[in-house]
Chains A and B, each alone.
Chain A
Amino acid sequence: MQGLVLGASGDTFGHVHSLQELRRSASLATKVFVQRDYSEGTTCQFQTKFPAELESRIERQLFEETVKTLNSFYAEAEKIGGSSYLEGCLACATAYFIFLCMETHYEKVLKKISKYIQEQNEKIYAPRGLLLTDPLERGMRVGEISIYEDRCSSGSSSSGSSSSSSGGGGGGVGGR
């Protein structure tokens, strides 16, 4: 009963002929932006509200979980604690030459975030035709989710459906 309305459409995708699958490609349909949540000041947090465009693409709970995890990462990165204090002292003591050798706490967390986003993309978002981009590329002002639409193209090469992740987008963004 439940599947009666939508289930069909969901199933058709999976049951498409393999040939068609090969020829299918995904085209970027639209982008959804996850805005920053400034309710706690300038600490880096993103709004967990579910964009309407994703209503039919992904479960609400998955999306919220992703955003919440990202928020927790950022909170950890910006946490003022013993480690950040020590790092500052060390940097001062070495006349900031330490920055040439060592990466800061924030940068470490950013690497974690980037890995997390990559993993989320691979596991959850790409199978649903979505792609998360690292907010860092946009100056942490906004998070971006690219929505891809399935577009059957006859005769297109089998590789046509792959789309590079934000890496490509980063190249465009970085052009400053």
Chain B
Amino acid sequence: MVVRRVHACEMLQDKCPWLTKAISPAIPVYNGLVFLFVLANFSMATFMDPGVFPRADEDEDKDDDFRAPLYKNVEIKGIQVRMKWCATCHFYRPPRCSHCSVCDNCVEDFDHHCPWVNNCIGRRNYRYFFLFLLSLSTHMVGVFSFGLIFVLNHMEKLGAAHTTITMAVMCVAGLFFIPVIGLTGFHIVLVARGRTTNEQVTGKFRGGVNPFTRGCCGNVEHVLCSPLAPRYIVEPKKKQAVSVKPPFLRPDLSERQITVKISDNGIQANLNRSKSKISLEGLEDTSMDVQPPLPPKGDPSKYSELKGQLGTGEEGSLSPKLISPPTPAMYKYRPAFSNNPKVHYHATAEQITMQEGHSQGALIEEDGRSLDYQSEPSLDIPSYRKSSLHKTYQSSPLQIDSFAINSRSLSLKSAGRRGTEKVPLHPIKSEGAASTPYKSIFSPNSLSNRNGSLSYDSLLNPMSPSGRKCITHSAVSSVGYHSPYLSAKMCHLRGSELQRQPPQSFSPVLGGPAPHQRDPSPVRYDNLSKTIMASIQERKEMEEREKLLHSHPDSVFADSGVYDTPSSYSLQQVSTLSEDPRSMAMRYGSRDNLMAATSFSTRNPILQSSVSSLSSAMTRAPRTSTTSLQADLANNNVQSHQALQGRVSNGSFKSPGHQVPSSPTGMPRSPSYGGPKAVSFVNTVEITEVQSVGAQRDDMQLKTPHSKINGQPKGISRLGSTSSSQGTPVSPARHSNVKKVSGVGGTTYEISV
């Protein structure tokens, strides 16, 4: 066609002398320019790289190839767009990218493959193609019109050579006029609407909104004025090598710890927290605890008790050091005692600092004085620090209980009970006097702590920040809130006991509870490291799950209790279930379809009960699309549990309490082709994962019982792994931003923005 154009131009040259003379000398110039323009754009459209994506390296898709779902969803300006896996190029095609079978390449912003130019039209050369069409149309119009003028002016000599040729040219031009103008008009509309030919022809945005449009003017501007995109197929160039040599720097954990602290309520947030908890407890629960000689015990006892919790033997060591002033007059120095334990409980760095700060704040004494006190016990404490974690973990059954949602209350109660037992002893003594000075200790004004933030204001006021903190540290959702106080109370009491023993002088009242000192200390969430707490929690979860499995063998949708108990776990499982069956159902074209199917069939049916129980939990979940889920579950029971496995293995239970509330919050609803459905749970799961520290450990532990299942389900494991991989990295950033939506063709991934 272009050749004809060229011919036509040559023909026109013959007419040009006449036209030049008859109409204007600019005509040949104009024609020449337009012709040149046509040619240039044609060349660019033909020879320019349209934006071909290079093939992905093997290392990029190593875990994508066989276990990856076919589609991956992405949210673009609030609209779900599906990215398809390209089997040839080994990556998920970016939005608007398509694979050209003629060129055998994925092309960015793929428009179409043009046979006229024998090239794909993509992002880089669409502008030239469009301009080519425009210029060609213009040129054709020009040729036709000039020919017409010529013929009309030479009507009397129609038989002449020039006229005949002109007429022939006009006919050709007229003939090609229609398709070219048609195509030009079509592309003008596409440019105005911001669509590609591919999208228009496949009807992608037929009923919906085009997320790629920038408005009519914006679209035109984008096509015509945007900078020329670079080529992706670059020749390997010599780059200056950067040598990577060990030793490698590692990020300083202390920085993180510091960060954590700072993120709390303030400098000594941790300190405040633990302290506040303890002191609050002391304050609230017993001004009785304050007991006269023991008020300091209250403080120091808290710490000493905490310390005792941490370790067994150390308690004694602390007690002798704490010498509470025997007389009420000395009460003002009580804070010193509380200073003592400052170092204890640093099972985690945060907690340790907490103690310190807390003790600082708690004490009315001046710094120097408090320091004196502190110095004594601190000798013991450092030794505790590292061992405290383990000790606490091992020593206190309550600790485990405390982590468990269910049993927590029990432990607390027991702790409370124990505390209360002791409490009455104390009030006997100088309640009034004791309590007053004791309270004075906690009064905000009386504190002269080095850490101003440690003032008892925090203690008195919001237990919430401290409580929150403790919760965070303990990785227990809501459980930790109360327990620290109780445990603090326990510590308080214990400490008092401890105090009592060595300094017999001022602990007559406490003689009773003395033996309790050596009991396994109540749980102190602050003291335990996150990993330990996570593992404890995980154990609890597993126990609960076991119970769940046994208790709800076949009640798929009936049991609401399932939802509550191993809520986190079941949620996770259900989410995997929901996730998997759906993806399975959807994945008609999935790469792993066959394999998954076969692998599923071999899975043990044992877990089906768990699956069903999970599904029941799922039904309770607010966001689940129960109907579809149920159907899927019913159909894919076996598969679902595999999905469960994959999911569970990757997920971890963290704080169940958080999971439940977080799922509603964490699930962003965005319009999508497919609809999110059960995917929301995956979000939840991933969200919760963040919260727990020992995620990895939990995963491992969870995996072991289901090791058989884990490896296989290709699609599911991929789901799990991807979700986990996405979840874990995502969650730290912000659990609320994780979005998982299931599209029409299957889903899966949530993209966190």
Cβ–Cβ contact A95 & B40, under 8 A: yes
Number of residues from A at the complex interface, CB < 8 A: 88
Q: Inside 8 A of A142's CB, which chain B residues have their CB?
A: 60, 91
Which of B227, B233, B346, B386 is A105 in contact with, Cβ under 8 Å?
B227
Q: Inside 8 A of B752's CB, which chain A residues have their CB?
A: 47, 49
A11 to B708, CA, bound (A): 41
Can you give 12 contacting A-B residue pairs, CB < 8 Å?
Answer: A7-B254, A16-B247, A40-B76, A41-B76, A41-B211, A47-B752, A96-B44, A126-B244, A129-B248, A161-B245, A164-B241, A176-B233
Cβ–Cβ contact A42 & B109, under 8 A: yes
Which of A1, A14, A52, A174 is B233 in contact with, Cβ under 8 Å?
A174
Q: Inside 8 A of B44's CB, which chain A residues have their CB?
A: 96
Check B702 for interface membership: any CB of A closer than 8 A.
no
Additional A-B contact list (17), CB under 8 Å, known A137-B54, A168-B241: A1-B349, A4-B386, A5-B253, A6-B252, A41-B77, A48-B733, A80-B221, A87-B227, A95-B37, A99-B228, A104-B228, A128-B248, A138-B56, A148-B244, A148-B246, A167-B240, A170-B236
Check B94 for interface membership: any CB of A closer than 8 A.
yes
Cβ–Cβ contact A118 & B246, under 8 A: no
Cβ–Cβ contact B247 & A42, under 8 A: no
A167 to B243, CA, bound (A): 12
Q: Given the interface contacts A41-B76, A78-B227, A144-B60, does A10 sit within 8 Å of B246 by beta carbon?
A: no
How far apart are B609's CB and chain A's nearest CB, in angstroms?
32
Cβ–Cβ contact A88 & B243, under 8 A: no
Cβ–Cβ contact B246 & A128, under 8 A: no
Cβ–Cβ contact B753 & A37, under 8 A: yes
Cβ–Cβ contact A150 & B246, under 8 A: yes
A161 to B242, CA, bound (A): 11
Taking chain A's interface residues, is the majority helix, strand, or loop, or is none over half, making it mixed?
Answer: mixed
Cβ–Cβ contact A165 & B227, under 8 A: no
Q: Inside 8 A of A126's CB, which chain B residues have their CB?
A: 242-245
Cβ–Cβ contact A51 & B729, under 8 A: yes
Which of A21, A150, A174 is B234 in contact with, Cβ under 8 Å?
A174
Interface residues of B in 709-738 (CB under 8 A from A): 725, 728-730, 732-733
Which of A24, A131, A165 is B246 in contact with, Cβ under 8 Å?
A24
Tell me the nearest residue of chain A to B241, going by C-beta: A164
Q: Inside 8 A of A88's CB, which chain B residues have their CB?
A: 127, 224-225
Q: Which of B127, B251, B253, B254 has the most CB of A within 10 A?
A: B251
Cβ–Cβ contact A58 & B242, under 8 A: no
A150 to B730, CA, bound (A): 27
Q: Inside 8 A of B238's CB, which chain A residues have their CB?
A: 167
Tell me the nearest residue of chain B to A95, going by C-beta: B40
Cβ–Cβ contact A106 & B54, under 8 A: no
Q: Which 8 A-B pairs have the closest CB atoms?
A: A2-B254, A167-B239, A6-B253, A13-B247, A162-B243, A129-B248, A171-B236, A150-B246
Check A112 for interface membership: any CB of B closer than 8 A.
no
Which of B40, B253, B255, B346 is A96 in contact with, Cβ under 8 Å?
B40
How far apart are B167's CB and chain A's nearest CB, in angstroms?
31
Check A66 for interface membership: any CB of B closer than 8 A.
no
Q: Inside 8 A of A50's CB, which chain B residues have their CB?
A: 729, 732-733
Cβ–Cβ contact B753 & A136, under 8 A: no
Q: Inside 8 A of B156's CB, which chain A residues have their CB?
A: none
Q: Inside 8 A of B241's CB, which chain A residues have their CB?
A: 162-165, 167-168
Cβ–Cβ contact B60 & A161, under 8 A: no
Cβ–Cβ contact B248 & A167, under 8 A: no
Q: Given the interface contacts A42-B96, A129-B246, A141-B53, does A2 sit within 8 Å of B349 by beta carbon?
A: yes
Q: Inside 8 A of A36's CB, which chain B residues have their CB?
A: 94
Cβ–Cβ contact B353 & A1, under 8 A: yes
Cβ–Cβ contact B349 & A13, under 8 A: no
Q: Inside 8 A of B212's CB, which chain A residues have their CB?
A: 41-42
A13 to B247, CA, bound (A): 5
Check A155 for interface membership: any CB of B closer than 8 A.
no
Check A33 for interface membership: any CB of B closer than 8 A.
yes
Contact with A along B54-74 (1 / 0, CB 8 A): 111101100000000000001
Which of B77, B222, B240, B248 is A118 in contact with, Cβ under 8 Å?
B240
Cβ–Cβ contact A52 & B243, under 8 A: no
Tell me the nearest residue of chain B to A30, going by C-beta: B59
A174 to B53, CA, bound (A): 11
A59 to B251, CA, bound (A): 6
Check B36 for interface membership: any CB of A closer than 8 A.
yes
Which of B60, B94, B258, B733 is A38 in contact with, Cβ under 8 Å?
B94
Q: Given the interface contacts A2-B258, A106-B227, A150-B248, does A136 sit within 8 Å of B60 by beta carbon?
A: no
Check A65 for interface membership: any CB of B closer than 8 A.
no
Which of A80, A118, A127, A176 is B249 in contact with, Cβ under 8 Å?
A127
How far apart are B548's CB and chain A's nearest CB, in angstroms?
29
Cβ–Cβ contact A165 & B239, under 8 A: yes
A77 to B228, CA, bound (A): 10
Tell me the nearest residue of chain A to B214, going by C-beta: A41
Cβ–Cβ contact B349 & A5, under 8 A: yes
Q: Given the interface contacts A165-B239, A165-B242, does A4 sit within 8 Å of B91 by beta carbon?
A: no
Q: Inside 8 A of B229's CB, which chain A residues have their CB?
A: 106
Interface residues of A in 65-117 (CB under 8 A from B): 77-80, 84-85, 87-88, 92, 95-96, 99, 104-107, 110
Q: Inside 8 A of A173's CB, which chain B residues have their CB?
A: 54, 57, 236
Check B75 for interface membership: any CB of A closer than 8 A.
yes
Cβ–Cβ contact A148 & B211, under 8 A: no
A139 to B240, CA, bound (A): 21
Cβ–Cβ contact A14 & B250, under 8 A: no
Tell me the nearest residue of chain A to B529, going by C-beta: A5
Q: Inside 8 A of A35's CB, which chain B residues have their CB?
A: 751
How far apart are B736's CB and chain A's nearest CB, in angstroms?
13
Q: Inside 8 A of A110's CB, which chain B residues have their CB?
A: 230
Contact with A along B338-352 (1 / 0, CB 8 A): 000000001001001
Interface residues of A in 23-58 (CB under 8 A from B): 24-26, 31, 33, 35-42, 47-52, 55-58
Which of A51, A57, A122, A137 is B251 in contact with, Cβ under 8 Å?
A57
A11 to B386, CA, bound (A): 18
Cβ–Cβ contact B74 & A38, under 8 A: yes
Which of B128, B221, B255 is A59 in contact with, Cβ under 8 Å?
B255
Q: Inside 8 A of B37's CB, which chain A residues have their CB?
A: 92, 95
Tell me the nearest residue of chain B to A122, going by C-beta: B242
Check B635 for interface membership: any CB of A closer than 8 A.
no
Contact with B along A149-173 (1 / 0, CB 8 A): 0100000000001111111101111
Tell me the nearest residue of chain A to B44, going by C-beta: A96
A3 to B385, CA, bound (A): 13
A129 to B108, CA, bound (A): 33
A39 to B36, CA, bound (A): 41
How far apart are A56's CB and chain B's nearest CB, in angstroms?
6
Q: Given the interface contacts A129-B246, A164-B241, does A106 sit within 8 Å of B753 by beta carbon?
A: no
Cβ–Cβ contact A21 & B53, under 8 A: no
Check B205 for interface membership: any CB of A closer than 8 A.
no
Cβ–Cβ contact A141 & B94, under 8 A: yes
Tell me the nearest residue of chain A to B734, going by C-beta: A49
Q: Inside 8 A of A136's CB, which chain B residues have their CB?
A: 230, 232, 234
Tell me the nearest residue of chain A to B251, going by C-beta: A59
A71 to B565, CA, bound (A): 45
Cβ–Cβ contact A118 & B242, under 8 A: yes
Cβ–Cβ contact A10 & B249, under 8 A: yes
Check B95 for interface membership: any CB of A closer than 8 A.
yes
